[in-house]
Amino acid sequence: MKTDNHFKSFSLSIIWVWMFLFALLPFCLVIIASFMSHNENSLITLPATLTNYQHLNNSIYIRIFEKSFVIAGISTLLCLIIGYPFAYIIARMQSRWKSFLLLLVIIPFWTSSLIRSYALIAIIKAKGILNSILIALGIIDQPLAILFTNYAVLIGLIYNLLPFMILPIMTNVERLDQRLIDAARDLGANRFTTFRKIIIPLTMPGIIAGSILVFLPAMTIFYIPDILGGAKSIMLGNLIQNQFLISQNWPMGSAFSAVLTLILVTLILVHVWVTRGNKKREWL
Amino acid sequence: MKAMIRNSAYLSLIYLFFYIPIIVLIVYSFNNTTFSLVWHGFTWKWYVDLFSDSDLWIATWHSFFLGIASATGATFLGMLTAVSLYRYRFAGRNFLNGLIFILILSPEIVTGAALLILFTFFHLPLGFLSLLLAHICFCIPFVIVTTYSRLISFDKNIFEAAKDLGASDFIIMLRIILPLLSPALFASWLLSFTLSLDDVIISYFVSGPEFQILPLQIFSMVRSGIKPEINALCSVLFCVTVTLVVLAQLALRKKT
């Protein structure tokens, strides 16, 4: 038995060393850096201070935080509204095309969202396809100015993050027990009641997982506002990227990151609280 | 019947939303004009420009090399972690589980910033090595999830039998787990390679001027403005990643 454990200790030591160095330590360093100062000579230096967090109380930052929340929230909600029926239909489908249709959702999940955001420009720009079609159909007579506005950012976020909403919900709907739905219908529940009281609660873990997977990136994918948005479309991601790579104020950037992580932890706790009792937590 | 038509209409609408921009991008990469909506005839011009751009070739080579190295590293480390989590009970197992969970969820921008601070802290110059470590970092959780979900479908008795017959853990790993796991490992490797090839956010933080990579090159081209080459480049890269993703999915589906 003793000789067996060489392999075990070998694997475990590699894993722990790696996880300590590249998972635990970096996040601790962010927290530490957020309490430090900076000056012209060094990016991060003593004395320890709370000023970075006090600076967060600045009205410009608060407005960016609020806007990021609102835009990320709206895109999460829209992804849910658009994605839920989609996931539901595909998950309950009994067709030989099902695996192909699933693959068509997985492809956008894995391919570069930078490229896909760029592709959107041709659709929504002033002389783009969307405007041409709408004008040809006589719905509008002036091209809509979508590109370089917050609407473009919203469309870009939904376009990129919809698969992240669809896939977790789909996993949940597939596990749904048809007998429960039949039972509810037998006992006289109409379609709406069945949906509200049976289907929604049972797929709640998927809804929460999908919402987290959409909401967090929505606030932080800095290149979408960068490419599609205008000068005013700064979101949390742009702010953090700016502090680190342009203003070179790392402690301040760390403070933003720490606040963002705090939001993340809160969301995870909500998720754990909702799925408590479910032993298996599957994500993708 | 009516419901079926309604459902298919809805599905088609969403699929159109997903794919029309990409199709338009690919079609216009053959348009004989600088980016305009009107069709000016078919041309290979942008692809020719693309293939004669030496900066892009260097960045492409860098990205492929980086992708291969980080996919290999991430698959190795992710596999060790998944197998250990599956087979062993050890102190801190739940903590490790939680850590992986957080790694999956943590916003890329926080990971990027955290790694930038880490590399600066250790005086590691930004370049190939910093990119490699960072890419391995963000690929590992995906490898763990993919291989772990494969591992739990195995019959645990196989390992007991091997142990009874005198195999050490290392032999079990080499002769039993690796062969059984190979489709999942292949898929993980391809997906890690794809992730590495496409990553913008984390690379943006930890790359240096000496080691240019493709996604960042695309990002700066997209930002700096209209150059029809980008359409061609994006089309090529999109097709490459789609091929890899499809291969990975086929590997995962086989024998499940």
Chain B contacts of A26, Cβ < 8 Å?
Answer: 111, 114-115, 117-118
For residue A163, being part of any structural domain is answered with: yes
Report whether B99 contacts A19 (CB < 8 A). yes
Look at residue B132 and tell me whether its pLDDT is greater than 50.
yes
Domain segments of chain B: what residues? 53-253
Instruction: State pLDDT tens for residues A74-92.
Output: 999 999 999 999 999 999 8
Confidence of residue A204 (pLDDT cuts 50, 70, 90): confident
Angle made by CA atoms B71, B67, B191, in degrees to the nearest 5: 55
Mean pLDDT across A16-43: 86
CA dist., res. A91 & res. A172, Å (int): 9
Contacting B residues, span 205-234, partner chain A, CB-CB under 8 Å? 205, 215, 218-219, 222-223, 230, 234
CATH code of A62's domain: 1.10.3720.10
pLDDT computed for residue A16 by the predictor? 92
For residue A31, being part of any structural domain is answered with: no
Helix residue ranges per DSSP H, A92-149: 98-110, 113-124, 129-136
How many distinct structural domains can be found in chain A? 1
For residue A6, CA distances in Å to A1, A12, B148 come to 10, 10, 22
Helix residue ranges per DSSP H, A137-196: 150-174, 178-186, 191-194
Look at residue B97 and tell me whether its pLDDT is greater than 70.
yes
For residue A226, being part of any structural domain is answered with: yes
Is the preceding omega at residue B21 within 30 degrees of 0, hence cis?
no
Place of tokens 């939001």: A263
| Lowest-pLDDT range of A21-25, A45-49, B88-92, B241-245 | A45-49
Cβ-based neighbours of B152, under 8 Å, separated by 6 or more: B86
Structural domain span for residue A246: 56-275
Confidence of residue B144 (pLDDT cuts 50, 70, 90): very high
Look at residue A45 and tell me whether its pLDDT is greater than 60.
yes
CA dist., res. A105 & res. A249, Å (int): 40
Instruction: Answer whether B169 sits within 8 Å of A5, measured CB to CB.
Output: yes
Mean pLDDT across A266-275: 76
Cβ atoms within 10 Å, residue B220: 10
Confidence of residue A277 (pLDDT cuts 50, 70, 90): low
pLDDT computed for residue A234 by the predictor? 84
Chain A contacts of B256, Cβ < 8 Å?
Answer: none
For residue A67, being part of any structural domain is answered with: yes
Confidence of residue B115 (pLDDT cuts 50, 70, 90): very high
Q: Which of B81, B241, B246 sits opposite A112 (nearest CB)?
A: B241
Is A168 touching B (CB cutoff 8 A)? no
pLDDT computed for residue B163 by the predictor? 86
Domain B53-253 - what CATH class? Answer: mainly alpha
Instruction: State pLDDT tens for residues B175-231.
Output: 889 998 999 999 999 999 999 988 999 999 999 888 889 899 888 888 876 677 888
Is A43 touching B (CB cutoff 8 A)? yes
**Chain B residue closest in CA terms to A265:** B102
pLDDT computed for residue B206 by the predictor? 93
Cβ-based neighbours of A178, under 8 Å, separated by 6 or more: none
Cβ-based neighbours of B244, under 8 Å, separated by 6 or more: B190, B191, B193, B194
